[in-house]
Amino acid sequence: MLTTSRSFNKPVNSSRFRQHVNPLASRYQQPRVPSPSVDTSWLTSNLSSPSNPYHLDIGCAKGTFCLSMSPLNPSVNYLGLEIRDPVVEYALDRRNRRKLDNCHFVSCNANVDLERVLEGINAVGGLLKTVTIQFPDPHFKEKHKKRRVVVPELVRLIGESMEKEEGVVYLASDVKEVLDEMREEFNNCDMFEDTVEGDGYLEENVNEVPTERELSVLKDDKPVWRASFRLRR
């Protein structure tokens, strides 16, 4: 079910969220975002200017990054994708309480629904400008690594849909192996070029605000691994 705008009488209890889900489970393999030829109201009824440029945050969790960025850039629509329904409800509750009209959250599996999401953005006259994938579930166990979010098809869809002149993808993780794997997938796509030469990493967050996870990691004096890509011109 597509989670859209709704009102809550009480704040959602965020302390009981399940931290990990299996994106390959049958319940998460069903499309949740409608085809734009059928319905684009999930965008038009939740954003005051749906034709504005978009920032897509894949794996947005509780939405703190989008909620913090959207007031700073009112001419950009911040769209967060998150697979866990209760977490999206919580993010929407936070959005509604702040009365933000350029920020929305959608409950879906990015590796199932990304194409429909991007088609929806295009159908309402929007343009994908930037993408963030920050601190995705690492799925540490060897047998679970196939659950990781960044796969060749996702990279290709992003590349085909981004604004050609300013398209940028930002990646971050506190697990070096996870960042390196995401980076390899983007390097393997001939539509993107790494903004850092060689084997180095971005030293600082290029965004205006950090995620909750980044703040927690840095507070514990642990490293954050970062990379960014731009479309080849």
For residue 211, which amino acid is it? T
Is residue 48 within 8 Å of 74, Cβ to Cβ?
A: no
- DSSP reduced 3-state for 120: helix
Joined together, the tokens standing for residue 46 give 């939740």
Of the residues 137, 194, 199, 221, only one is catalytic, namely 137
* Cα–Cα separations (whole angstroms), residue 187 to 125, 128, 134, 192: 29, 20, 17, 7
Write out the H or E segment, with its range, that includes residue 187: helix 176-187
**CA atoms of 62 and 7, how far apart (whole Å):** 16
Active site residue 194: no
**CA atoms of 214 and 23, how far apart (whole Å):** 23
Joined together, the tokens standing for residue 164 give 């050609």
Is residue 196 within 8 Å of 227, Cβ to Cβ?
A: yes
Joined together, the tokens standing for residue 87 give 């977490």
Taken in order 156, 157, 158, 160, is the CA torsion positive or negative? positive
Is residue 202 within 8 Å of 165, Cβ to Cβ?
A: no
- DSSP reduced 3-state for 39: coil
Q: Would you please indicate which residues are annotated as catalytic (active-site) residues?
A: 137
